[in-house]
């Protein structure tokens, strides 16, 4: 039991460093073997931090548009921009065609389609957050959760596109979706109970359960579509899957609320 706890903490410390710019956790030696499983939990944590930033600014007389802008920028900062970088590289690769896909992704310069993708995604997120407003604590963390769940499905279903070695470790130590998704399933159950506790009507419960179902469908379909389009998985395509999934879910929540 002590050894399992130590491995859990070491792997989580590795995920903490790999997926964010947060400093190293004290007294814990980071390990990078099975870190993908912790990404959904970190998504929830980052979502609450961004939500707190949004509400703090709004409550201090910042306009909604400005609060939402800083909220989005803080997400880019906390993750070191790795997901949005992956989105831009993936779109550059997709529009270059299958023959030049890897070459376009490897290119350090951002192409026109990569720039268009980040502008489009940022504007959709900005519009969604201004609509969601005070419901952000109940929405943004779950959207970021589903975005990172999509990577678990992506890694499990597709072969690795080998050009960035640091990401190969995810599949090298992969134990299968059943084991890697256990923490995500536990978090989903806890989120379900949380929504039940705060619910004030049967309509709210129905809408919440429907949105959770839609979240699962999005986190499954988007990596499957990307995987078939790109022919595999790597750090960039997983970053694209995260950003696309969380943005689509934000937009859906904005419409539903």
Residue-level pLDDT at 6: 63
Residue 14: inside a domain, yes or no? no
How confident is the model over 16-47, as pLDDT tens digits? 888 888 888 787 777 777 888 999 999 999 99
Residue 9: inside a domain, yes or no? no
Residue 31: inside a domain, yes or no? no
- Band of residue 14 on the pLDDT scale cut at 50, 70, 90: confident
> What residue numbers bound the domain in which 137 lies?
37-256
d(CA 78, CA 89): 20
Residue-level pLDDT at 207: 82
Residue 2: inside a domain, yes or no? no
- Band of residue 110 on the pLDDT scale cut at 50, 70, 90: confident
User: Lowest-confidence range among 82-86, 130-134, 162-166, 203-207?
Assistant: 162-166
Count other Cβ atoms within 10 Å, centred on residue 209: 13
Residue 28: inside a domain, yes or no? no
* Torsion angle of C-alpha atoms 86, 92, 93, 97, degrees rounded to 10: 160
User: Lowest-confidence range among 6-15, 79-88, 129-138?
Assistant: 6-15
Residue 69: inside a domain, yes or no? yes
Give 223-227's long-range contacts (Cβ < 8 A, gap of 24+). 223/150, 223/151, 223/153, 223/154, 223/157, 223/158, 224/153, 224/157, 226/90, 226/154, 227/154, 227/157, 227/158
Higher confidence at residue 130 or residue 15? 130
* Torsion angle of C-alpha atoms 231, 236, 238, 239, degrees rounded to 10: -150
Q: Mean per-residue pLDDT for 119-123?
A: 94
d(CA 53, CA 189): 26
pLDDT at 2 over 60: no
For the ranges 52-56, 184-188, 196-200, the maximum mean pLDDT occurs at 52-56
Residue 221: inside a domain, yes or no? yes
How confident is the model over 163-195, as pLDDT tens digits? 455 444 566 778 788 888 888 999 988 888 887
In the chain, what percentage of residues exceed pLDDT 70? Answer: 89
pLDDT at 64 over 60: yes
User: Lowest-confidence range among 99-103, 116-120, 147-151?
Assistant: 99-103
Distance from chain centroid for Cα 62: 27
Residue 61: inside a domain, yes or no? yes
Higher confidence at residue 155 or residue 6? 155
pLDDT at 60 over 90: yes
How confident is the model over 151-168, as pLDDT tens digits? 999 999 988 876 455 444
Count of domains observed in the chain: 1
Higher confidence at residue 248 or residue 32? 248
């Amino acid at each position: 039991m002590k050894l399992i706890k130590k491995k859990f903490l070491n792997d989580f410390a590795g995920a903490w460093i790999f997926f964010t710019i947060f400093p190293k956790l004290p007294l814990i030696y980071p390990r990078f073997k099975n870190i993908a499983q912790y990404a959904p939990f970190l998504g929830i944590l980052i979502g609450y931090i961004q939500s707190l930033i949004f509400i703090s600014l709004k409550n201090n007389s910042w306009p909604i548009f400005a609060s939402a802008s800083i909220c989005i920028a803080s997400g880019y900062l906390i993750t070191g921009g790795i997901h949005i970088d992956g989105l831009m590289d993936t779109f550059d690769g997709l529009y270059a065609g299958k023959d030049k896909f890897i070459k376009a992704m490897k290119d350090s310069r951002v192409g026109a389609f990569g720039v268009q993708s980040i502008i489009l995604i940022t504007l959709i997120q900005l519009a969604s957050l201004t609509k969601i407003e005070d419901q952000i604590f109940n929405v943004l963390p779950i959207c970021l959760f589903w975005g990172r769940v999509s990577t678990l499905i992506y890694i499990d279903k597709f072969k690795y596109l080998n050009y960035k070695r640091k990401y190969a470790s995810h599949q090298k130590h992969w134990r299968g979706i059943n084991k890697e998704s256990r923490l995500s399933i536990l978090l989903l159950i806890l989120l379900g109970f949380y929504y039940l506790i705060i619910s004030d009507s049967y309509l709210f419960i129905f809408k919440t359960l429907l949105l959770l179902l839609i979240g699962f469908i999005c986190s499954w379909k988007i990596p499957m579509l990307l995987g078939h389009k790109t022919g595999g998985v790597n750090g960039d395509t997983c970053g694209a899957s995260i950003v696309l999934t969380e943005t689509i879910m934000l937009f859906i929540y904005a419409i539903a609320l």
